Amino acid sequence: MEKALAPRLIVSFFIIQCLVLSSVLVEGQGTWQMLQRNAGVSAMHTAVTRFDTAIMLDRTNIGPSQIRLPGKRCRKQPLERFSKIDCYAHSVMFNPANGAVRPLYVQTDTWCSSGQFMSNGVMVQTGGDFEGNKKIRTLAPCSARGTCDWVETAQELTRGRWYASNHILPGGNRQIVVGGRNEPSYEFVPKRRAGEGAFNLPLLRGSADNLYPFVFLLPNGDFFVFANRDSVILNIGSGRVVKKLPRIPGNPRNYPSAGSAAMLPIKAPHNSVEILVCGGAGYGASRNADKGKPGSFSCGRINPTAANANWAMENMPIRRVMGDMVNLPTGEILIINGAQYGYQGWGKASSPVLQPVTYDGDAKAGKRFQTQRASGVGRVYHSTANLLSDGRVLVAGSNTHQFYTYRGTLPTELRVEAFAPAYLSANLNDCRPRIMEVPAAIGYRQKFNVAFLARSRVGYVEVNILSAPFTTHSYSQGQRAIKLAATVPGKSRGFWVTRVTGPPSSSVAPQQYYMLFCLQNGVPSRANWVRVG
């Protein structure tokens, strides 16, 4: 009798463990892992590829990095203002699996530039400083063993773009490039027609704190554009601003005031979405060069397409300037990196915020934030955070100096870490699903199966897809998370199988590669890369 009951008791124990551990958030969760102590460059810009490698970029006019170009190759750039002959790399391909670093060659200055993956997985990277101001660069990603590298195209931007933001368009073969220093306009790469130029955007005129504007594609195909404290809905077909939204209360939010923004997950029926904007420098900090001014606690949340759209305000548990906001597979948003005082710039901030915070948009007001375990590495100006397909968050960069400086309280940071949220706890291994079958490509409104294994089958099942953004200066360009409609799973051929419906349109999920996660009771699988559209 005891032998017959034992397996059932064991299964019951695992089920109870999954239900309890995955439904209770505890302050100070998550773990940190050092992946590489010297990546060679400080990652001002980072993007994770569908091969699970990470492209990292810094400026070129920074002098020697800590990694040389291979084969005694040197960059000869007569327009370079620091090293006209430079034998050091300023971009690398990083492998999070083993910490391996491969130098990449970039010809013109990528300082404070922008980028986005196209539908075929190619990174298109635009603008920068000085000789790189109008340049367009591409990189077709490859596996960790590959030799892919940057290519500078013959085509250039219409206007110089420094501190601009990019976003892919529905269709997946074109992106919009918005703003930049002294450029209150937007343009398209590639152009929609021969001879097309740039288009004025009054939102970006005549005010500070409007660089790296927050740009999000809405489910109806229009764009939400936010700069300083104001935002509009832009229809790119007509070129018209179709709606001006209320001003967010409090402080400025864009560079150099350094707030951050993310879209909450787009949920079925996928016809509306909310934007979250958090933190930033205290009012007047950058204008008055007040690097000791406390940063902001405040977050605002808005549904831009609602009839009476307005900002709902709440406070984070920690004030934060230069935080990065990362969509997690659970639907939460991770707020990580940054400082408590000052604003963006060389030596303009202090008191690094070592503790990440998660934001659960589905929780009640007052219960949405949870403080996570602290890192031992302070990351402020020019730091990045990107989701990996295994559910961890890749954290890199931080350089608050004009050149690489390895002394002082905030030295140039070459170390790369991974933050593992609580859902990767070893105690939840029995709950974690393992994807066994999923299509490599998903069509719009297509029905498809996701088959998974789990030691304990318990709770609800979700299937969520997340994009791979280009992250720089506290903003992840092109970042989005979509919760797909999924049925209660049944058993088939030894697997659990849920029937899933693809996203409804390219405005909800532009044609791109996405990380597809299967979640059981809030515990995500490792993702499979799938192409949508």
**pLDDT mean over 312-316:** 98
Query: Are both 389 and 464 inside the same structural domain?
Result: no
Kindly state the tokens that stand for 154.
């013959």
**pLDDT mean over 107-133:** 97
User: Strand 441-442 and strand 528-532: pairing?
Assistant: parallel
What is the radius of gyration, based on Cα positions, of the chain?
Answer: 23
Q: Is residue 140 over pLDDT 80? A: yes
Identify the band that residue 18 occupies on the pLDDT scale cut at 50, 70 and 90: low
pTM above 0.85, yes or no: yes
Query: Are both 382 and 435 inside the same structural domain?
Result: no
Kindly state the tokens that stand for 235.
């229809």
Query: Are both 241 and 366 inside the same structural domain?
Result: yes
Query: Are both 446 and 378 inside the same structural domain?
Result: no
Query: Are both 326 and 399 inside the same structural domain?
Result: yes
The predicted-structure confidence for 283-297, as pLDDT tens digits, reads as follows: 999 989 999 999 999
Q: Is residue 27 over pLDDT 80? A: no
Identify the band that residue 80 occupies on the pLDDT scale cut at 50, 70 and 90: confident
Query: Are both 519 and 436 inside the same structural domain?
Result: yes
Predicted confidence at residue 426, as pLDDT, reads 85
**pLDDT mean over 445-449:** 98
Give the mean pLDDT of the chain: 93
Using the 3D structure, point to which of 391, 424, 457 is the last residue of a domain: 424
Query: Are both 369 and 267 inside the same structural domain?
Result: yes
Predicted confidence at residue 430, as pLDDT, reads 84
- Residue 277 neighbours by CB under 8 Å, 6+ apart: 214, 226, 248, 253, 259, 260, 261, 299, 300, 301
Identify the band that residue 431 occupies on the pLDDT scale cut at 50, 70 and 90: confident
CATH number of 47's domain: 2.130.10.80
Q: Between the CA of residue 58 and those of 183, 244, 306, what are the distances in Å? A: 22, 35, 39
Predicted confidence at residue 164, as pLDDT, reads 98
Query: Are both 454 and 354 inside the same structural domain?
Result: no
Using the 3D structure, point to which of 424, 439, 455 is the last residue of a domain: 424
Peptide bond into 269 cis (omega under 30): yes
The predicted-structure confidence for 469-527, as pLDDT tens digits, reads as follows: 999 999 999 999 999 999 999 999 999 999 999 999 999 999 999 999 999 999 999 99
Identify the band that residue 200 occupies on the pLDDT scale cut at 50, 70 and 90: very high
**pLDDT mean over 187-208:** 94
Q: Is residue 23 over pLDDT 50? A: no
Q: Percent of the chain at pLDDT above 90?
A: 89
**pLDDT mean over 141-157:** 96
Using the 3D structure, point to which of 389, 424, 459 is the last residue of a domain: 424
Q: Is residue 16 over pLDDT 80? A: no
Q: Is residue 6 over pLDDT 80? A: no
Query: Are both 278 and 244 inside the same structural domain?
Result: yes
Q: Is residue 29 over pLDDT 70? A: yes
Identify the band that residue 323 occupies on the pLDDT scale cut at 50, 70 and 90: very high
Q: Percent of the chain at pLDDT above 70?
A: 95
Predicted confidence at residue 427, as pLDDT, reads 85
Q: Is residue 315 over pLDDT 50? A: yes
- Give the whole-angstrom CA distance, residue 526 versus residue 434: 7
3-state secondary structure at position 16: helix
**pLDDT mean over 196-206:** 95
**pLDDT mean over 203-227:** 94
Q: Domain total for the chain?
A: 2
Q: Is residue 21 over pLDDT 70? A: no
Domain boundaries, position 148: 31-424
**pLDDT mean over 256-283:** 96
Query: Are both 210 and 246 inside the same structural domain?
Result: yes
Kindly state the tokens that stand for 522.
């809030």
Query: Are both 448 and 500 inside the same structural domain?
Result: yes
For 33-47, 264-278, 421-435, which range has the lowest pLDDT when averaged over its residues? Answer: 421-435
The predicted-structure confidence for 452-462, as pLDDT tens digits, reads as follows: 999 989 999 99
- Give the whole-angstrom CA distance, residue 25 versus residue 368: 11
Predicted confidence at residue 19, as pLDDT, reads 55
Predicted confidence at residue 4, as pLDDT, reads 38
CATH number of 518's domain: 2.60.40.10
Query: Are both 344 and 455 inside the same structural domain?
Result: no
Phi-psi region at 26: left, alpha or beta (left = phi > 0; alpha = psi -120 to 50): beta
Identify the band that residue 372 occupies on the pLDDT scale cut at 50, 70 and 90: very high
Identify the band that residue 206 occupies on the pLDDT scale cut at 50, 70 and 90: confident
With beta carbons less than 8 A apart as the criterion, state whether 104 and 89 touch.
Answer: yes
